[in-house]
Amino acid sequence: MRTRCSSALAALVGLVLAAGCGGGAAGGPATGPPPAAGPAISYVLSDDPISVTPLGASSPAELTVERSVFAGLFDTDPSGAGVVPVLVRSWKASDDLKTFTFRLRKDVTFTDGEPVTADTFVRDWAIVCATDAPAAPLLRLIDGAERCGLDPGVTSLPGVSALAPDRLAVTLSSPFADLPAVFSNPGTFAFPPDLTDTPEERAAFEQTPVGCGSFRIESWVHGSSISLVRTTGAVKVAGVDLTILRGSVGARAAVSGFRDGRFDATPLPASQLKVTMSDPQLSRRLVIRPLEALTALLVSPQIVPSLPERQAIAHANDPVGAAAASGGGTPADGLIPVTTPGYVPGATIYRYDPAAASSKLSASPEKLRVYPEDDELTVVASQVVAALRAVGLPAALTERASGALRVVRLSAAYPTADAIVGPLALGGEARKLLDESRTTRDIEQRQELQRATAVAELRSAIVIPLTFSGAPFVVQPGVDGAVFDAAGLPHFNQWGWVQSSR
C-alpha cells in the first residue's frame, strides 16, 4: 500500500551541511496503525500568504506553509547534520560532478493518490522554468536550462530525465558538488504536474494545493487562518492551526495571545524583540535562531575605484552598531554565517578601526550615497551613514539609485557557503577559487575552498559584512522538539508535546 510522504528529521537544532555526493536512506514510512496524535499546534503567521506552493511561495509565512504541505528530494536538517534525503533513497555523482542520479522512494503519493515519480520532477521543473517560479534561478545550473525563468519558451529541460519511475538523472552545464543541497530548497519540491499545465489550472492549484508533505491544508480563510492536518503517523501532532496577524497591530496581538496561552509559538518582529526581552515571563520563552543570512554593504568599484577608499569604508563600519540597529542580528565577522559549514570566527579582513579609516583618506572623497535594499534595512543603512560621517567620509541616506552604496541582505537559497559567496564571486581570484570548490568532491576540502573564496572577496573591500541575521521566536514550555531551520522556518513534522503538558 502506498503512503503519503513525510520528512521525519532529527529533532535537534542547528544547521550544518554534511551531504556529499554519496547516498543515504530516507526515513521510511510508519508501519502499523499511526499513534494517537497530540493536540494541534497553534502558531502565528506574520503575513497573509498569497502562494503556498513551489510555484510562488517566497515570504517566510508562505514558506512555512509550503514546507509543511510539500516535500522534495532533500530537506534541510535543523540538527546540524546537513541535508537529509526525503523522497530519495540513494544518490550518486559522476566522476566529473556533472551528472547526478537519484533513486527515489517507490511508496510515495500525493494526497490525491497520484504517485510521485522521476517524471514528476522532469515535468515540475520545466513548469518552474516556464512560469519563472522562485526556484527558477537555481535550476539554471542544469544543462539546457540557462534561460530558466528568463524565457517562457523554456518548457523542457534536456538535462533532466526519468531513467525509470524511481530513477532521476540530472546533468549540469558545469560541475557542482553541492547539488543535493540545492534540492533542499522548497521551490524544487514536488507537486502534481497534471494540475498545473495551464494558467487556469495553476490558479486553481494555488487555491487548493496538493502536496505530499507531512500535512495537508484542511481549511484556508484568506487574511484569517490556515488549518493543517497531518498526513502521516510519523507526525506527533494532529495538525497546526495557523493564525494570520499582520503588521504592528498583529505583532502586538501575537505577543498578547502568546502571553495568554492562545498561541503555542510565534515569530517576533524586530519591533517586539526589546519588549519581549524586558518581560521576565516572555524572555524565558525566547529563542533566537541564527540564520544563514548576511547583511552587508556592497561597494561598487566603479563608483569608489580606489582600494584605500574602499578600505576606509570597511574600517569605518561597526558590525556591533549595525547588529544593535538590526534587531535580532549579531555582529558579522566574515561573509560565511555562523550556522554555515565553513564558518571561521574572526574572518573579517578590515576590522572596525576609525583611526585606520581616517588614515586611508588621502583626499576629501565625493559624497557617498547609501540606500537600503528594502525598508527593513533602513535603520541599518542609517547606522552606516552615521559611521561613515564619524570618520570624515561625507555620506547621506538616499532612495534606491545607481552608483549608491547598497545595504543588502544575502540569504542562502541552499545550506552551503556557496549560496552566499557564489553570487559575490564575479571574477578574478574569487571566481577561480569558487569554480575549484564546485569541482571538489571531498567536503572538507570544498569548504576550505569556499572559505578562501570568501577571503578573496573580503580583501577587495567590495562587500563589507555588517550582521548575521537571527530570527526570534517565543515558544511555550509545553512544546517539545520546536525546531527551526537556518531559514527561520519551523519544522512542524518534528514538533510535539512534553508528556506532562498535554
Last residue of a domain, one of 205, 225, 248: 205
- Mean pLDDT of all residues in 139-145: 96
Q: Which residue type does 192 have?
A: P
Query: Cell numbers of 205, please?
Result: 492549484
Alpha carbons 329 and 326: distance in angstroms, whole number: 6
Q: What is the DSSP string of 400-447?
A: S-TTSEEEEEEE-SSSSTHHHHGGG--SHHHHHHHHHHHT--SHHHHH
Last residue of a domain, one of 182, 205, 228: 205
- Answer yes or no: is 308 within a domain: yes
**436-471 pLDDT, tens per residue?**
999 999 999 999 999 999 999 999 999 999 999 999
* pLDDT for the residue 441: 96
**206-234 pLDDT, tens per residue?**
999 999 999 999 999 999 999 999 998 88
Which of 15-24, 27-36, 380-389, 407-416 has the weakest average pLDDT?
15-24
Last residue of a domain, one of 188, 205, 222: 205
**364: which DSSP letter?**
-
Confidence check: pLDDT of 277 > 70: yes
Which of 30-34, 76-80, 349-353, 393-397 has the weakest average pLDDT?
30-34
Alpha carbons 2 and 23: distance in angstroms, whole number: 23
295 and 199 share a domain? no
In CATH, what number is assigned to the domain containing residue 331? 3.10.105.10
Alpha carbons 333 and 351: distance in angstroms, whole number: 8
Confidence check: pLDDT of 485 > 90: yes
Q: Looking at the chain, how many residues does it have? A: 502
- Answer yes or no: is 36 within a domain: no
* pLDDT for the residue 269: 83
- Answer yes or no: is 241 within a domain: no
* pLDDT for the residue 364: 56
Alpha carbons 213 and 340: distance in angstroms, whole number: 26
Percent of the chain with pLDDT over 70: 91
At which residue does the C-alpha cell 530548497 appear? 185
Q: Which of 226, 221, 196 is nearest to 210 (CA)?
A: 196
Confidence check: pLDDT of 14 > 50: no
293 and 439 share a domain? yes
Alpha carbons 374 and 366: distance in angstroms, whole number: 25
Spatial CB neighbours of 432, under 8 Å, sequence gap ≥ 6: none
- Answer yes or no: is 370 within a domain: yes
- Mean pLDDT of all residues in 51-72: 97
298 and 187 share a domain? no
- Answer yes or no: is 385 within a domain: yes
**247: which DSSP letter?**
H
Alpha carbons 282 and 475: distance in angstroms, whole number: 9
Alpha carbons 443 and 446: distance in angstroms, whole number: 5
Q: What are 319-325's contacts with CB under 8 Å, separation 24+?
A: 319/348, 319/352, 319/465, 319/466, 319/467, 320/352, 321/383, 321/387, 322/295, 322/380, 322/383, 322/384, 322/466, 322/467, 323/466, 323/467, 324/383, 325/379, 325/380, 325/382, 325/383
71 and 166 share a domain? yes
- Answer yes or no: is 216 within a domain: no
**299-333 pLDDT, tens per residue?**
988 888 889 999 999 999 999 999 988 877 899 99
335 and 453 share a domain? yes
**375: which DSSP letter?**
G
Alpha carbons 407 and 298: distance in angstroms, whole number: 6
156 and 64 share a domain? yes
Is the separation of the CB atoms in 135 and 73 below 8 Å?
Answer: no
Is the separation of the CB atoms in 17 and 224 below 8 Å?
Answer: no
**CA-to-CA dists, residue 335 to 109, 121, 189, 463, angstroms:** 41, 33, 28, 9
In CATH, what number is assigned to the domain containing residue 129? 3.90.76.10
172 and 296 share a domain? no
Alpha carbons 370 and 401: distance in angstroms, whole number: 9
Using 50, 70 and 90 to split pLDDT, how confident is the model at 128?
very high
* pLDDT for the residue 297: 97
164 and 57 share a domain? yes
449 and 304 share a domain? yes
- Answer yes or no: is 29 within a domain: no
- Answer yes or no: is 12 within a domain: no
* pLDDT for the residue 356: 93
192 and 78 share a domain? yes
Using 50, 70 and 90 to split pLDDT, how confident is the model at 36?
low
**359-388 pLDDT, tens per residue?**
887 665 678 999 999 988 999 999 999 999
Domain that holds residue 125: 51-205
* pLDDT for the residue 32: 40
**CA-to-CA dists, residue 398 to 300, 382, 384, 388, angstroms:** 16, 10, 12, 14
* pLDDT for the residue 501: 57
- Mean pLDDT of all residues in 53-59: 97
305 and 449 share a domain? yes
> How many domains, the chain?
2
Alpha carbons 63 and 140: distance in angstroms, whole number: 22
The CA dihedral of 46, 11, 135, 45, to the nearest 10 degrees, is -10
Is the separation of the CB atoms in 51 and 114 below 8 Å?
Answer: no
Alpha carbons 275 and 270: distance in angstroms, whole number: 10
327 and 464 share a domain? yes
Spatial CB neighbours of 336, under 8 Å, sequence gap ≥ 6: 342, 343, 344, 347, 417, 420, 421, 450, 451, 454
Q: Which of 27, 45, 500 is nearest to 232 (CA)?
A: 27
